Amino acid sequence: MLKWITLAPLIGAIINGLLGKRLGERAVAIIACGSVGVSTVLAFTAFFTKLLPLPPDARRYTEHFFTWLSVGSFHADFAYLLDPLSGIYILFITGVGLLIHIYATGYMHGDPGFYRFFAYLNLFMFMMLTLVLADNLLLLFVGWEGVGLCSYLLIGYYIRKQEAGDAAKKAFIVNRIGDFGYMIAVFLTFTTFGTISFVAKDGVESIMTQAAAMPVEAFGAVGVLTGIALLFFVGATGKSAQIPLFVWLPDAMAGPTPVSALIHAATMVTAGVYLVVRCSAIFVKAPTALAVVAVIGAVTAILAATIGIAQNDIKKVLAYSTVSQLGYMFLACGVGAFTAAIFHVMTHAFFKALLFLGSGSVIHGMHEEQDIRKMGGLKKYMPITWATMAAGWLAICGIPLFSGFFSKDEILWRTFATESLPHGWGSVLWVVGALTALLTAFYMTRLMVMTFWGSERFGRSDAHHGHGDGHGGSHGKPHESPAVMWIPLAVLAVLSVVGGYVGVPPALSSLVGIHSENHFEHFLEPAIGTPDVVVHAAAGEVTATGQAAADSHASHDVGMERLFTGISIVIAFLGIGLGWVIFNRQPLKVMPRLLENKYYVDEFYGAAIVRPLVDVSRSFLWKIVDVKIIDGIVNGSAAAIAGLSGVLRHSQTGYARGYAAAILLGAIVVVGFFALR
């Protein structure tokens, strides 16, 4: 079943890529959606009928296809692994992916490259499923690079738009920087453990089993496990858009909106989180790496949230929101709350895909307009889009009983209660996370108010500005999207409301009438490393507690957890209230120029890194090394041979007497040489 979960979208990509131009739009849509539908049905079947009924410690399936590489002691199979972690991922990858495919059939209707778009989209599904189902780091890297390739193709889908082409190249290059760290980490992993597999093979224990048996490295020291963990995190910062490699994701909004929803909100950008959690057994033995992950995640979260406040492109606001929410996920990983990170990955897939698709519906209804300053009052024109996006808005703000409330609150509480970091770090990181939550509610309320409420700021003269997704449109009043687009929105809205109930913490379960333990957390536990370290900052000492820091006495303080939940709720409502009051009165309020220009990070990178590299490449590597040295050696060698040939050709006179004289002279020289000896 695992084989066909991945192969179905690949087959759809091949058929549409080779024959789609002849088949027509309807057939292409049926093949694309049908192939992902098959993958979805098989994924849910495998999860609920094969994996879930097994005892917790036995929830692991492997499917071996063939031996891919075997060189000396190095072995890499083409094999898939289904366990609780990959099982959760394939459910929302295929489920949300299917909804986005269906939505895209309406959104991309009439586009001349319709077949090409769905071939790329299906190929992405194959690569992403290969990434999460891979049973070793090398096959995971194939999927890792594959989604990078598909991202490049889909971001640059509008080949006539300079902006799209530049964004595609930027995404590809920035991700390659992170991939270099990933590759070095794989080399070190094999050197250290003698395997790159997540399961035991040929008498060699898996990476995770061997890592779990190794001692904890001292905080502040950089041993081999810390080095491996940090290098893996370098790869994750590229794929999941964390500081300093976050600059590609906002520009990626130049691609079609379904691409933004699928790749840059629900699946691909969470690949970095998946990698860290999959290698959690290594990270928990490297508290220094955990601290770096937590700090980078927290700083990224608040930095992106402040930038999101001042953006006017509806998709750019959501892009920076995605970067910020990814920071939340890494913050959870850094404090040892890996299950909370995956919980937020899942709920984020629901509400962020909803918000991106909702923004696409707005863009479609506004005839390709993306500037929220030129919207307003759309609620009466697009009631379904408004109602569904409202569910996503409340979920991401952390309003009680919506999915984002449970996952975000869990991250904040685990951050405060962590014992995986030095004393006091958890409190500081909690403040950063809480402030980020306030800013999130603020800028998302700004987006909703400026888009759907207030006075109408659009008109016939500016209904079309030519900077939308670029697949067509017409002038006129805003209009609701067709059913093929709003039905996926409705489904995602329902998931955004109820999706969090699978992971309600015990401290809150009685408040929502569930009265049970956290099933989501207990389901994931067998596939995740136990963060069993306590860091004592004063002595710089690291000791094992024998139980997870996430399950320490602090996290069992029900009263304290409920207090912090109450604080989170107040923060969410405060952010919404501030956003409503300010932007309902002044929808065109000018935002700080520093935030609007994204702290000039791109300009800094351009001046400090890109332009110097381009100048050195052009002036030195090309004009001197390539043209003068390399070409000079090659051309000089040819010129020298040509000159020597010009001299030697004069010896070929064509006169037999001259040749006889030369032979005689040579004979005299040889005889004389031996005679004189």
| Domain co-membership, 566 together with 617 | no
Kindly report the backbone phi and psi dihedral angles of residue 267, in degrees, each rounded to the nearest multiple of 5, phi listed first. Answer: -130, -70
Q: Is the pLDDT of residue 560 over 90?
A: no
Mean pLDDT of 507-526: 75
Kindly report the backbone phi and psi dihedral angles of residue 265, in degrees, each rounded to the nearest multiple of 5, phi listed first. Answer: -140, -45
Cα–Cα distance, 72 to 630 (Å, whole number)? 38
| Domain co-membership, 579 together with 610 | no
Instruction: Yes or no: say if 358 and 258 are a contact pair by the CB < 8 Å rule.
Output: no
| Domain co-membership, 590 together with 611 | no
| Domain co-membership, 531 together with 640 | no
pLDDT per position as a tens digit, 179-216: 999 999 999 999 999 999 998 887 889 899 999 889 98
Instruction: Yes or no: say if 403 and 92 are a contact pair by the CB < 8 Å rule.
Output: no
Instruction: Yes or no: say if 301 and 432 are a contact pair by the CB < 8 Å rule.
Output: yes
The kind and range of the H/E element at 479 are none
Quick one: pLDDT band at residue 513, thresholds 50, 70, 90?
Answer: low
Task: Specify the amino acid at residue 348.
Answer: H
Quick one: pLDDT band at residue 443, thresholds 50, 70, 90?
Answer: very high
Q: Is the pLDDT of residue 473 over 90?
A: no
pLDDT per position as a tens digit, 56-81: 888 899 998 888 888 888 888 899 99
CA 221, 224, 228, 231 dihedral sign is positive
Please state the three-class secondary structure of 292-361 as a single string. HHHHHHHHHHHHHHHHHHCCCEHHHHHHHHHHHHHHHHHHHHHCCCHHHHHHHHHHHHHHHHHHHHHHHH
Cα–Cα distance, 468 to 6 (Å, whole number)? 33
Domain boundary pick from 570, 596, 622? 596
Quick one: pLDDT band at residue 463, thresholds 50, 70, 90?
Answer: very low
Tell how strand 533-536 and strand 541-544 pair up: antiparallel
Q: Is the pLDDT of residue 177 over 70?
A: yes
Q: Structure tokens of 85? A: 């972690």
| Domain co-membership, 428 together with 460 | yes
Cα–Cα distance, 112 to 285 (Å, whole number)? 53
What is the number of structural domains in the chain? 2
Helices (H), 48-161: 84-107, 114-133, 137-155
Tell me the pTM.
0.88
Check residue 514 and give its pLDDT: 63
| Domain co-membership, 265 together with 184 | yes
Give burial (CB, 10 Å; 0-12/13-18/19+) of 326.
buried
pLDDT per position as a tens digit, 87-127: 999 999 999 999 999 999 999 988 899 999 999 999 999 99
Q: How far is CA 41 from the centre of its chain?
A: 25
pLDDT per position as a tens digit, 642-666: 988 888 887 787 888 888 888 999 9
| Domain co-membership, 357 together with 415 | yes
Domain that holds residue 500: 2-596
| Domain co-membership, 519 together with 634 | no
Q: Structure tokens of 371? A: 């500037």
Return the residue matching tokens 């066909």. 4
Q: Structure tokens of 198? A: 């997540």
Quick one: pLDDT band at residue 462, thresholds 50, 70, 90?
Answer: very low
Task: Say whether 537 sits in a helix, a strand or coil.
Answer: coil
Task: Specify the amino acid at residue 450.
Answer: M
Kindly report the backbone phi and psi dihedral angles of residue 270, in degrees, each rounded to the nearest multiple of 5, phi listed first. Answer: -90, 5
Task: Specify the amino acid at residue 12.
Answer: G
The kind and range of the H/E element at 79 are strand 74-82
Quick one: pLDDT band at residue 476, thresholds 50, 70, 90?
Answer: low
Check residue 469 and give its pLDDT: 53
Mean pLDDT of 123-136: 94
pLDDT per position as a tens digit, 210-254: 998 899 888 888 889 999 999 999 999 999 989 999 999 999 998
Strand partners, 77: 67
Task: Say whether 82 sits in a helix, a strand or coil.
Answer: strand
Q: Is there a cis peptide before residue 84, judged by omega within 30 degrees of 0? A: no
Q: Is there a cis peptide before residue 244, judged by omega within 30 degrees of 0? A: yes
| Domain co-membership, 486 together with 609 | no
Q: How far is CA 311 from the centre of its chain?
A: 21
Integer CA distances (angstroms), 135 to 76, 79, 471, in order: 9, 6, 40
Q: Structure tokens of 120? A: 């790329």
Strand partners, 74: 71
Q: Structure tokens of 434? A: 């809480």
Kindly report the backbone phi and psi dihedral angles of residue 71, in degrees, each rounded to the nearest multiple of 5, phi listed first. Answer: -130, 105
Domain boundary pick from 596, 628, 662? 596
Instruction: Yes or no: say if 379 and 453 are a contact pair by the CB < 8 Å rule.
Output: yes
Cα–Cα distance, 344 to 297 (Å, whole number)? 14
Helices (H), 525-630: 558-585, 593-596, 601-605, 611-616
Residues 6+ apart with CB under 8 A from 585: none
Check residue 511 and give its pLDDT: 65
| Domain co-membership, 348 together with 230 | yes
Mean pLDDT of 580-608: 90
Instruction: Yes or no: say if 81 and 442 are a contact pair by the CB < 8 Å rule.
Output: no
pLDDT per position as a tens digit, 410-423: 999 999 988 888 88
> pLDDT exceeding 70 applies to what percent of the chain?
92
Q: Is the pLDDT of residue 571 over 50?
A: yes
| Domain co-membership, 484 together with 618 | no
pLDDT per position as a tens digit, 382-435: 999 999 999 999 999 999 989 999 999 999 999 998 888 888 898 999 999 999
Report the length, in residues, of the chain: 677
| Domain co-membership, 538 together with 666 | no
Domain boundary pick from 596, 615, 641? 596
